[in-house]
């Protein structure tokens, strides 16, 4: 039981990450371990016992095995057929876009043919490309896997709230996206711990049905877990959405894929999901910030250093000090391991990061903190220092996108005073920022293949509140200190 472990042990486990995160055995042994883990998973699900770091839903329907749809389970086997995502080696695959500084967009795509140039042609009329940008490319090797050519091309300046048509690598199919608006209203889709199961597919389908300007993902993307071709299949799975609206992501534990003395971590994630860290003054792809239509969003890294002497801490402090609440009345933060969590899964894993960084967020009057990691949904009141506080942030855990590990169903009781709503179901969130003072947050459960709106709350920005007017507040000094 998690309750019998000391915080030290929990932190040690947090550092260790998922069961396979330490030393990776040679491939044949790895396959054996994989088989064993699938069997033990099935056995544990039958007895209702917790498995590894997560809790697995008991088999509910014949179509499911170990809480995982059979199709999804098969897809984790490394010998499963690598499906060709495109008809020709030079065709762009796995297209996704992300904001790259003011009025710019980064277009990312992969080609099997490494002679394809890193160029994107674009314009506001279909088939007529009035501009061309050239970018950079990278590739990587991981054990016996060699990636395709991964292209990153920044385009712009672009107009706000405008549809652009584009083509990658100088030829191939046309894609299109819409840039976010310059002003409110702004609509953000939010999903964590996505994975690539049939639950993921229904979550993505529901997100597609909702109008959104951008998607935010607080970590755990592909659940490739060392099987590098699963990063490719994830790229293909999300392309229909991620090529049409910017996807802004931060890393979770499943992005790490480190191997002791051999791989330092985040190799595939950094190569494939390059975010605008340089544009926001950060020196690491693992944390950055961006601004969109009156929102300043900060993407923090739960799996890189965050103590007071760390680069991330110094960068966060500088970034927060720059925020102008007149220009961006909304200040939101995303990170992977939640700080306020009443689920038994991952208890205490966010504690050390919270101890280091929560005073900074409080001093800056952050409105909302969104986390993933726990495979369930939970919303807290405005909180600070483990208690209710009207000048603290609303904390939301939304690690229920549809990963193959199943749901985290067991909660601590009694429910803490700060926890308003908690439920172990797959789903996604939507944040509609209506104006400078009001935002509407909803959580949509994937119920019976229909998106059911389940949690629903209006959030008022702290900009212009009594909290911010009291600028002599002692915590304000933290941001101003050298
Ligand atoms: C902001 O939106 C809310 C909710 O729709 C509305 O009640 C309020 O009057 C709006 N404020 C302004 C300044 O328009
Ligand atoms: Fe996670």
- For ligand 1, atom 12, which residue shows the shortest CA distance? 435
Please tell me the distance between residue 441's alpha carbon and the centre of ligand 1 in angstroms. 15
Q: Which two tokens stand for residue 287?
A: 């944390």
Cβ proximity of 300 and 357 under 8 Å? yes
Which listed ligand is nearest to 250 at the C-alpha? 2
Q: Residue 236: in which H helix or E strand, if any? A: helix 229-242
Please tell me the distance between residue 471's alpha carbon and the centre of ligand 1 in angstroms. 25
Give residue 72's pLDDT. Answer: 45
pLDDT tens-place string over residues 39-54: 333 333 333 333 333 3
Cβ proximity of 159 and 123 under 8 Å? no
> What distance in Å separates the CA atoms of residue 385 and residue 204, rounded to the nearest whole number?
35
Please report where in the chains the tokens 């999903």 appear, as a residue.
191
Ligand 1 in reach of 438 Cβ (< 6 A): yes
Give residue 471's pLDDT. Answer: 58
CA angle 158, 163, 167 (to 5 degrees): 80
Give residue 28's pLDDT. Answer: 45
Fold of 93-178: Immunoglobulin-like (2.60.40)
Q: Which of 185, 187, 431, 435 to mutate to test the pocket of ligand 1 (most atoms within 8 A of CB)?
A: 435
Ligand 1 in reach of 437 Cβ (< 6 A): yes
Question: What are the Cα distances from residue 176, in Å, to 120, 127, 179, 241, 395?
Answer: 12, 11, 10, 10, 34
Q: Which two tokens stand for residue 97?
A: 């876009």
Which listed ligand is nearest to 374 at the C-alpha? 2
Query: What single-letter DSSP state applies at residue 59?
Result: P
What is the separation of C-alpha 436 from the centre of its chain, rounded to a whole number of angstroms?
25
Instruction: Enumerate the active-site residues.
Output: 346
Full-model pTM = 0.84
Please report where in the chains the tokens 């280091």 appear, as a residue.
356
Please tell me the distance between residue 391's alpha carbon and the centre of ligand 1 in angstroms. 21
Which listed ligand is nearest to 432 at the C-alpha? 1
> What distance in Å separates the CA atoms of residue 38 and residue 32, rounded to the nearest whole number?
10
Give residue 58's pLDDT. Answer: 34
Cβ proximity of 67 and 57 under 8 Å? yes
User: Other C-beta atoms within 10 Å of 353: how many?
Assistant: 23
Q: How many CA atoms lie within 13 A of 339 on its CB side?
A: 28
Ligand 1 in reach of 435 Cβ (< 6 A): yes
Residue partners of 136: CB distance under 8 A and separation at least 6: 118, 151, 152, 153
Which listed ligand is nearest to 329 at the C-alpha? 1
Q: Is the dihedral of CA 54, 55, 58, 61 positive or negative?
A: negative
Please tell me the distance between residue 347's alpha carbon and the centre of ligand 2 in angstroms. 12
Please tell me the distance between residue 166's alpha carbon and the centre of ligand 2 in angstroms. 34
Please tell me the distance between residue 247's alpha carbon and the centre of ligand 1 in angstroms. 28
Pairing relation of β-strands 68-69 and 93-99?
A: unpaired
pLDDT tens-place string over residues 395-407: 999 999 999 999 9
List b or e across 221-247, with b for residues whose CB sees 16 or more CB atoms inside 10 angstroms.
bbbbbbbbbbbbbbbbbbbebbbbbbb
Which atom number of ligand 1 is nearest to the Cα of residue 434?
2
> What distance in Å separates the CA atoms of residue 206 and residue 220, rounded to the nearest whole number?
19
Give residue 470's pLDDT. Answer: 66
- For ligand 1, atom 3, which residue shows the shortest CA distance? 438
Q: Which two tokens stand for residue 415?
A: 């429910």
Which atom number of ligand 1 is nearest to the Cα of residue 437?
1
Provide the 3-class DSSP secondary structure of residue 298.
Answer: strand
Ligand 1 in reach of 86 Cβ (< 6 A): no
Q: Residue 109: in which H helix or E strand, if any? A: strand 105-111
Ligand 1 in reach of 440 Cβ (< 6 A): no
Give residue 88's pLDDT. Answer: 84
CATH class given for the domain over 186-480? alpha beta
The residue ranges of the chain whose pLDDT is under 70 are: 1-87, 448-450, 470-474
Q: How far apart are the first and last CA of the chain?
A: 44
The radius of gyration of the chain from alpha carbons, rounded to an integer in Å, stands at 22
Domain limits, the chain: 7-80, 93-178, 186-480
Cβ proximity of 344 and 411 under 8 Å? yes
Beta strands in 347-449 (DSSP E): 368-371, 377-384, 387-388, 393-398, 419-423, 427-433, 438-447
Give residue 71's pLDDT. Answer: 41
Closest C-alpha among 369, 293, 365, 314 to residue 336: 369
Q: Which of 185, 294, 438 to mutate to test the pocket of ligand 1 (most atoms within 8 A of CB)?
A: 438
User: What are φ and ψ of residue 96, in 5° steps?
Assistant: -145, 155
Closest C-alpha among 68, 60, 66 to residue 448: 60
Which atom number of ligand 1 is nearest to the Cα of residue 458?
4
- For ligand 1, atom 14, which residue shows the shortest CA distance? 435
Q: How large a percentage of the chain has pLDDT more than 70?
A: 80
Residue partners of 60: CB distance under 8 A and separation at least 6: 67
């Amino acid at each position: 039981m998690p309750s019998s472990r000391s915080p030290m042990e929990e932190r040690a486990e947090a550092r260790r990450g998922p069961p396979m995160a330490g030393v990776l055995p040679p491939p044949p042994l790895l396959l054996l371990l994989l088989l064993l883990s699938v069997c033990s998973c099935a056995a544990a699900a039958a007895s209702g016992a917790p498995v590894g770091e997560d809790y697995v839903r008991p088999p509910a329907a014949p179509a499911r095995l170990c809480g995982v749809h059979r199709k999804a389970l098969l897809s984790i086997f490394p010998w499963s057929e690598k499906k060709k995502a495109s008809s020709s080696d030079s065709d762009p695959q796995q297209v996704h876009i992300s904001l790259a500084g003011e009025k710019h967009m980064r277009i990312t795509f992969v080609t099997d043919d490494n002679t394809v140039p890193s160029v994107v042609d674009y314009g506001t009329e279909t088939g007529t490309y009035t501009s061309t940008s050239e970018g950079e490319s990278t590739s990587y090797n991981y054990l016996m896997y060699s990636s395709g050519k991964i292209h990153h091309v920044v385009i712009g300046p672009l107009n706000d709230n405008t549809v652009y048509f584009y083509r990658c690598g100088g030829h191939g199919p046309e894609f299109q996206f819409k840039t976010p608006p310059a002003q409110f209203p702004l609509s953000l889709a939010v999903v964590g711990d996505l994975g690539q199961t049939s639950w993921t597919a229904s979550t993505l389908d529901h997100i597609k049905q909702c109008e959104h300007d951008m998607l935010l993902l607080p970590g755990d993307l592909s659940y490739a877990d060392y099987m590098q071709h699963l990063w490719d299949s994830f790229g293909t799975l999300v392309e229909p959405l991620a090529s049409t609206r910017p996807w802004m992501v931060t890393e979770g534990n499943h992005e790490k894929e480190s191997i002791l003395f051999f791989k330092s971590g985040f190799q595939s994630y950094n190569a494939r999901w390059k975010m605008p860290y340089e544009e926001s003054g950060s020196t690491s792809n693992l944390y950055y910030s961006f601004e969109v239509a009156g929102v300043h969003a900060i993407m923090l890294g739960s799996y890189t250093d965050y103590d007071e002497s760390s680069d991330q801490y110094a960068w966060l402090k500088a970034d927060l000090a720059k925020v102008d609440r007149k220009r961006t009345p909304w200040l939101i933060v995303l990170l992977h391991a939640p700080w306020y969590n009443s689920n038994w899964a991952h208890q205490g894993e966010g504690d050390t990061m919270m101890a280091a960084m929560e005073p900074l967020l409080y001093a800056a009057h952050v409105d909302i903190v969104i986390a993933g990691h726990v495979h369930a949904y939970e919303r807290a009141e405005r909180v600070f220092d483990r208690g209710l506080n009207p000048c603290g942030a609303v904390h939301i855990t939304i690690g229920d996108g549809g990963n193959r590990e199943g749901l985290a169903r067991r909660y601590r009781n009694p429910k803490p005073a700060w926890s308003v709503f908690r439920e172990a179901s797959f789903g996604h969130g939507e944040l509609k920022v209506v104006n400078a003072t009001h935002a509407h947050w909803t959580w949509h459960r994937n119920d019976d293949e229909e998106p059911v709106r389940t949690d629903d709350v209006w959030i008022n920005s702290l900009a212009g509140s009594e909290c911010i007017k009291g600028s002599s507040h002692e915590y304000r000094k933290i941001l101003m200190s050298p």
